[in-house]
Amino acid sequence: MKNTKEMRNWLNDLGLNHPLVIAGPCSAETEEQVLKIAHQLKDTDVSYFRAGIWKPRTRPGMFEGVGALGLKWLQKVKAETGMKTCTEVANAAHVKLAIEHDVDLLWIGARSTVSPFIMQELADALEGTDKIVLVKNPVNPDLALWLGGIERLYNAGIKNLGAIHRGFSTYEKSKYRNIPEWQLAIDFQNKFPDLPLINDPSHITGKRDMVFDVSQTALDLNFDGLMVETHFDPDNAWSDAAQQITPQALVQMMVDLKIRKESDPEAKFNQDLSTLRAKIDVVDQQIIDLLAKRMQIADSIGGLKKTKNVAVLQSKRWNEILGKMVLQGEEKGLSEEFILKLFKAIHQESINHQEKVIKD
């Protein structure tokens, strides 16, 4: 993809003076439920009403969506509220039905993005469409798969493209349902700077009380919009109840979010500075997380040394590490003085952790 500028036209054409907002229930449950939520979102800053018609579930027996029947409900949403509609598609049959029912925006889910075979099937089914197509990041943190999915659609003549960042699965204990891996989203922005990038705080957090903070981080990082799962009775939703918020909470959130506007050179400077600072905040958090993981390993080493009555300080090993880090630091443009100070501090903290384990 040599030129992505033409692909931002669909977002510019909306003429919004605020970030794009896509909202609606995780799943379309009943016609009454869909229409009630849509009417509550009708006169807000929500541009697209979303509802899952087909729900890819991890295990059989879970609610897998109402199917094609729900597309008629989306048609009623459009007729009664004037809102544009969107839903997830996972195969060629879904694409055909969604287009027949005049769904305005289609998104491809994380479980589909992970498979080049599925992405090619969808690209073939969507070939030449003028519908807006958004691609969620794959379940695993693989930038190449995400980029590849976008490229397959672009090669099929689909120009109204965008991406959704919904976080990544992990076996590690985390406060998130899907860890955001903000740096990977930043790398995506750098690869496709003109491609609209939407954040999905609902799937990243898995908890409604965290949706605001993740949304704010996304806007600080210059994301183009948000996709937020919204339900009038979230606790009793048929799927993903814990992460959905009420329409009233969504409206208040949109009021409370700090949104930077470009109106003059000074505002542009401040926005660029804020975006870069937000990126630094992301990297700083990664540094803290990595240091914490390193100290957990140091605790394990301390426990192992305790069982064998081995001394904490191993000078030969330490000198080898220090020499290697200095060389690697120089390759990355970091001064020897800085690397020495940094790793001496890390080493001292590691010794402290090991000594504490041995004494306990």
Co-location of 348 and 204 in the same domain: no
Task: Say whether both 238 and 335 belong to one domain.
Answer: no
Q: What type of residue is 303?
A: G
Same domain, 281 and 209: no
What are the φ and ψ backbone dihedral angles of 65, each rounded to 5 degrees?
A: 95, 160
Scored b (16 or more CB within 10 A) or e, 118-129 reads bbbbbbebbeeb
Q: Quick one: 99 and 243 in the same domain?
A: yes
CATH number (domain holding residue 286): 1.20.59.10
As for how many domains the chain has, the answer is: 2
Residues 71 and 87 in one domain: yes
**Residue 58, Cβ density class (10 Å: 0-12 exposed, 13-18 middle, ≥19 buried):** exposed
pLDDT in tens, 299-350: 998 888 888 787 777 778 888 888 898 899 889 999 988 988 898 888 888 8
Q: Of 238, 259, 280, which residue is a domain's last? A: 259
One domain, residues 214 and 105: yes
80 and 209 housed in the same domain = yes
User: For residue 95, what are its two tokens?
Assistant: 């694409």
Same domain for 300 and 234: no
Residues 232 and 163 in one domain: yes
Query: Which CATH number characterizes residue 156's domain?
Result: 3.20.20.70
Interior angle at CA 139, CA 174 and CA 153, nearest 5 = 150
- CA atoms of 241 and 26, how far apart (whole Å): 8
Residues 166 and 251 in one domain: yes
Amino acid at 27: S
Burial of 170 (0-12, 13-18, 19+ CB in 10 A): middle
167 shares its domain with 83: yes
Output the tens digit of pLDDT for each of the chain's 360 residues. Answer: 655 666 667 898 888 888 999 999 999 999 999 999 999 999 999 999 999 999 776 667 677 789 999 999 999 999 999 999 999 999 999 999 999 999 999 999 999 999 999 999 999 999 999 999 999 999 999 999 999 999 999 999 999 999 999 999 987 788 999 999 999 999 999 999 889 999 999 999 999 999 999 999 999 999 999 999 999 999 999 999 999 999 999 999 999 998 765 556 777 787 788 888 888 988 888 899 899 999 999 899 888 888 878 777 777 888 888 889 889 988 999 998 898 889 888 888 888 888 888 887
The last residue of one of the domains, among 243, 259, 275, is: 259
Q: Are residues 230 and 84 in the same domain?
A: yes
Q: Tell me which of 204, 238, 259 is where a domain ends.
A: 259
pTM for the full predicted model: 0.80
Q: What domain range is 70 assigned to?
A: 5-259
- pLDDT attached to residue 257: 94
